[in-house]
Amino acid sequence: MSHLLKSILMYSISLLLFSNAIAEELEAKGYEIAKRSDHSDRGFSDSVVKLNMVLRNATGKESSRTLEIQTLEAPNDDVGDKSLVIFDSPRDINGTALLSYAKIIDPDDQWLYLPALKRVKRISSTNKSGPFVGSEFAFEDFTSTELNKYSYKWLREETCEEFTCDVVERYPLYENSGYTRQIAWIDQSVYQTRRLDFYDRKDSLLKTLDFKDYREYDDGIWRSHKLSMRNHQTEKSTDLIYSDYEFKTGLNDNDFNKGVLKRAR
């Protein structure tokens, strides 16, 4: 092998290693930022909140649903939160309750109580990204955002409204996800997600979620009280309006098993 060829080869290899190193660095930075954001609400232990969902179609016609969500914080990053969703209105689904154990990589465990049938049904489905009660939100979009559901890459830093944000791209590790990637804008002051872009399977922009009206509860627990999702492809949108947040209400594992579903109302 000639010297020239050798040096070219060496150069290429080092360049490859170097660019690899850069990529790894960006991934690590992305992960750190996501982790800092995820951990910022560590220790909320449990929460109860009322939720009003306002659905809007392309003609501007509206419809709303109200529900209550109880959440139990997961002890660590390897398991997901447990949640109980109790529907209040429309009247015909009043008392219907959904118990969900979020998993990191596997399909969530879900049980639904149907008061009209007076039975609890376990739902076995690999589908996580379908619309939740006809809204533009998938269940996973507004419930648990578990850190290890994604791999990350830091993209850039830019201003987002009054903040300076880190822009982090994340890739779902769940194989049946409806998204190829998401881009999150996370502020550098209190580490909350301000905006989230969802890209569909063909990698075109599907939805944008804006997090508005953040309020701080004790110990630096921040919660957005208005989540607005816009579907760019169908021009439909959904607002989630949260109220009456309560934390550390003393809920425990016993309040999140399928036995409680029937008396959730």
Partner 1 sequence: MDKLAKQIDQLAVTWSEWTIRYRWLTIIISLLIVGFIASHMRFLDFATNYRVFFSGDNPDLVAFEDFQKTYTKNDNFLFVIQAKDESAFDGELSEIAERITEEAWQIPYAIRVDSIPNFQYTWADGDDLTVEDLIKNGNQLPPEILQNKVDIALAEPLLKNFLISRDSSTTAINVVLQYPEKEIDEVPIAVKHARSIAAGIEQDYPDISLALTGLSMMNNSFAESGLKDMATLTPLMYLVLIIVTFLSLRSISATLATLVVIILSTLVAIGAGGIMKILLTPVSLTASTIVLTLAIADSIHILITMRDLMRSGTEKNKALVESIRINFLAITITSITTIVGFLALNFSDSPPFNHLGNMTAAGIAAAWALSLFLLPAIISLLPLRIKPSPTKTKKSLFLKLSDFVIKQPVKVLVVTGSFSLILSALAFTNTLNDVWTKYFDKSIQFRVDTDFALERIGAFYPIEFSINASEPGGISHPEYLNKLDEFAQWMRTQPNVEHVFSLTDIMKRLNKNMHGDDESYYRLPEDTELSAQYLLLYELSLPYGLDLNDRINIDKSATRITATMGDITTVETREFISNSSQWLEQNAPEYMWTSGTGATQMFSYIAKRNIESMLKGNVIAVSLIALILILTLRSFSLGILSIIPNAIPILVTFGIWALTVGMIGIAAATVTATSLGIVVDDTVHLLTKFLRGRREKGYSTADSIRYSLNTVGKAVTINTFILAVGFSILTMSSFKMNQELGALTAIAIVAALILDFLLLPALLLVLDKKSSKKNSTQGNIYVPSA
Q: Which residues contact partner 1 (rule: CB under 8 A)?
A: 55-59, 61-63, 87, 90-93, 96, 98, 110, 112, 114-117, 119-134, 138-139, 176, 178-179, 200-202, 204, 233-234, 236
Give the pairing of strands 46-56 and 237-247. Answer: antiparallel
Is the CB of 97 or the CB of 227 nearer to partner 1?
97
Q: Is 15 helix (H, G, I), strand (E, B) or coil?
A: helix
Could you check whether the bond before residue 115 is cis, i.e. omega within 30 degrees of 0?
Answer: no
Is the CB of 42 or the CB of 119 nearer to partner 1?
119
Report CA torsion sign: 260, 262, 263, 265.
positive
Is the CB of 156 or the CB of 202 nearer to partner 1?
202
Q: Min. distance of Cβ 88 from partner 1 in angstroms? A: 13
Is the CB of 49 or the CB of 114 nearer to partner 1?
114
Is the CB of 91 or the CB of 156 nearer to partner 1?
91
Instruction: Compute the distance between CA of residue 215 and CA of residue 197 in angstroms, rounded to an integer.
Output: 22
Q: Min. distance of Cβ 179 from partner 1 in angstroms? A: 8
Q: Min. distance of Cβ 166 from partner 1 in angstroms? A: 27
Instruction: Compute the distance between CA of residue 255 and CA of residue 49 in angstroms, rounded to an integer.
Output: 15
Q: Min. distance of Cβ 209 from partner 1 in angstroms? A: 15
Q: Min. distance of Cβ 171 from partner 1 in angstroms? A: 16
Instruction: Compute the distance between CA of residue 258 and CA of residue 119 in angstroms, rounded to an integer.
Output: 11
- Own/partner long-range contacts of 158-165 (Cβ < 8 Å, ≥24 apart): 158/185, 160/185, 160/187, 160/194, 160/195, 161/194, 163/187, 163/188, 163/189, 163/194, 164/188, 164/189, 165/194
Phi and psi dihedrals of 112, rounded to 5?
-125, 135
Is the CB of 130 or the CB of 220 nearer to partner 1?
130
Q: Min. distance of Cβ 79 from partner 1 in angstroms? A: 22
